[in-house]
Amino acid sequence: MDVSILGGLQVAHDGSLANWIIPGKMVKGMGGAMDLVSGARKVIVTMEHTAKGQHKFLEECTLPLTGKKIVDMAITDLAVFTWDRKTSEMMLIEVAKGRTVEDVTRDTGCKFLISPTLKEF
Protein backbone atom coordinates (compact mmCIF):
# COMPACT_ATOMS: atom_id res chain seq x y z
CA MET A 1 0.00 0.00 0.00
CA ASP A 2 1.42 3.39 -0.95
CA VAL A 3 -0.47 5.73 1.42
CA SER A 4 -2.55 5.29 4.55
CA ILE A 5 -4.59 8.24 5.82
CA LEU A 6 -6.12 7.85 9.26
CA GLY A 7 -7.23 9.82 12.28
CA GLY A 8 -5.07 10.24 15.33
CA LEU A 9 -5.51 10.95 19.01
CA GLN A 10 -1.86 11.77 19.78
CA VAL A 11 1.36 12.12 17.80
CA ALA A 12 4.79 12.22 19.44
CA HIS A 13 7.67 14.45 18.38
CA ASP A 14 9.37 11.41 16.78
CA GLY A 15 6.35 10.53 14.62
CA SER A 16 4.93 7.80 16.85
CA LEU A 17 1.13 7.52 16.68
CA ALA A 18 -1.61 6.70 19.16
CA ASN A 19 -5.03 6.46 17.57
CA TRP A 20 -6.96 4.23 19.93
CA ILE A 21 -7.90 4.39 23.58
CA ILE A 22 -7.49 1.88 26.39
CA PRO A 23 -9.96 -1.03 26.18
CA GLY A 24 -12.74 -1.13 28.75
CA LYS A 25 -13.83 2.41 28.03
CA MET A 26 -16.92 3.16 25.99
CA VAL A 27 -14.84 3.95 22.90
CA LYS A 28 -13.49 2.19 19.84
CA GLY A 29 -10.52 -0.17 20.05
CA MET A 30 -7.48 -0.40 17.78
CA GLY A 31 -9.32 -1.97 14.85
CA GLY A 32 -7.13 -2.38 11.78
CA ALA A 33 -5.03 0.74 12.32
CA MET A 34 -1.86 -1.19 13.20
CA ASP A 35 -2.13 -3.06 9.89
CA LEU A 36 -2.72 0.20 8.01
CA VAL A 37 0.37 1.92 9.42
CA SER A 38 2.69 -1.08 9.22
CA GLY A 39 1.82 -1.83 5.59
CA ALA A 40 1.94 1.70 4.15
CA ARG A 41 4.90 3.41 2.56
CA LYS A 42 3.54 6.80 3.68
CA VAL A 43 1.35 7.49 6.74
CA ILE A 44 -0.71 10.69 6.92
CA VAL A 45 -2.54 11.53 10.14
CA THR A 46 -5.49 13.94 10.28
CA MET A 47 -6.84 15.33 13.54
CA GLU A 48 -7.77 18.45 15.44
CA HIS A 49 -4.67 20.19 16.76
CA THR A 50 -5.86 20.16 20.38
CA ALA A 51 -8.62 18.39 22.32
CA LYS A 52 -10.50 20.55 24.83
CA GLY A 53 -7.40 22.70 25.25
CA GLN A 54 -5.08 19.70 25.74
CA HIS A 55 -2.09 19.05 23.48
CA LYS A 56 -2.33 16.20 20.99
CA PHE A 57 1.27 16.62 19.83
CA LEU A 58 3.50 15.50 22.71
CA GLU A 59 7.09 14.59 23.49
CA GLU A 60 5.77 11.04 24.05
CA CYS A 61 2.28 9.63 23.57
CA THR A 62 0.43 8.81 26.78
CA LEU A 63 -2.09 6.54 25.03
CA PRO A 64 -1.24 3.07 23.66
CA LEU A 65 0.85 3.29 20.49
CA THR A 66 -0.45 2.25 17.11
CA GLY A 67 3.03 2.53 15.64
CA LYS A 68 6.49 3.85 16.52
CA LYS A 69 8.08 6.51 14.30
CA ILE A 70 5.66 5.85 11.44
CA VAL A 71 4.01 9.24 10.75
CA ASP A 72 5.19 11.04 7.60
CA MET A 73 2.71 13.93 7.74
CA ALA A 74 0.10 15.28 10.15
CA ILE A 75 -2.63 17.66 9.00
CA THR A 76 -4.66 19.60 11.57
CA ASP A 77 -6.98 22.57 11.63
CA LEU A 78 -3.98 24.73 12.63
CA ALA A 79 -0.89 23.34 10.91
CA VAL A 80 0.79 20.73 8.74
CA PHE A 81 3.88 18.88 9.99
CA THR A 82 6.18 16.41 8.28
CA TRP A 83 8.71 13.94 9.72
CA ASP A 84 12.01 12.77 8.35
CA ARG A 85 11.99 9.01 8.96
CA LYS A 86 15.78 8.86 9.16
CA THR A 87 16.18 11.58 11.80
CA SER A 88 12.63 11.56 13.28
CA GLU A 89 12.65 15.38 13.11
CA MET A 90 9.25 17.07 13.20
CA MET A 91 8.96 20.07 10.88
CA LEU A 92 6.22 22.68 10.55
CA ILE A 93 5.63 23.23 6.83
CA GLU A 94 2.25 25.02 6.74
CA VAL A 95 0.19 27.16 9.11
CA ALA A 96 -3.52 28.03 8.83
CA LYS A 97 -4.45 31.37 7.31
CA GLY A 98 -4.58 34.07 9.95
CA ARG A 99 -2.58 32.02 12.47
CA THR A 100 1.04 32.40 13.49
CA VAL A 101 4.00 30.20 14.38
CA GLU A 102 3.48 31.43 17.96
CA ASP A 103 -0.09 30.02 17.87
CA VAL A 104 1.24 26.67 16.68
CA THR A 105 4.00 26.67 19.31
CA ARG A 106 1.50 27.40 22.10
CA ASP A 107 -0.84 24.62 20.97
CA THR A 108 1.86 22.00 20.39
CA GLY A 109 3.24 20.07 23.35
CA CYS A 110 6.64 19.31 21.84
CA LYS A 111 9.44 21.02 19.99
CA PHE A 112 9.54 21.17 16.20
CA LEU A 113 11.60 22.70 13.43
CA ILE A 114 10.21 25.41 11.15
CA SER A 115 10.60 25.01 7.42
CA PRO A 116 12.48 27.81 5.68
CA THR A 117 9.71 27.66 3.06
CA LEU A 118 6.84 27.85 5.58
CA LYS A 119 3.53 28.42 3.77
CA GLU A 120 0.01 29.41 4.73
CA PHE A 121 -3.00 27.21 3.88
| Closest by Cα among 80, 88, 85 to 108 | 80
Domain boundaries, the chain: 3-120
Output the pTM of the full model: 0.88
The strand pairing partners of 15, in sequence order, are: none
Pair 27, 93: CB distance under 8 Å:
no
- Helix or strand run (H / E) with residue 38: helix 33-38
Side chain identity at 53, as an amino acid letter? G
What is the per-residue pLDDT across 30-60, written as a single tens digit (0 to 9) for each?
566 666 667 778 999 999 999 998 999 999 9
In this predicted structure, what is the pLDDT of residue 103?
97
**Average pLDDT value for residue range 98-108:** 97
CATH, domain range 3-120: 3.40.1080.10
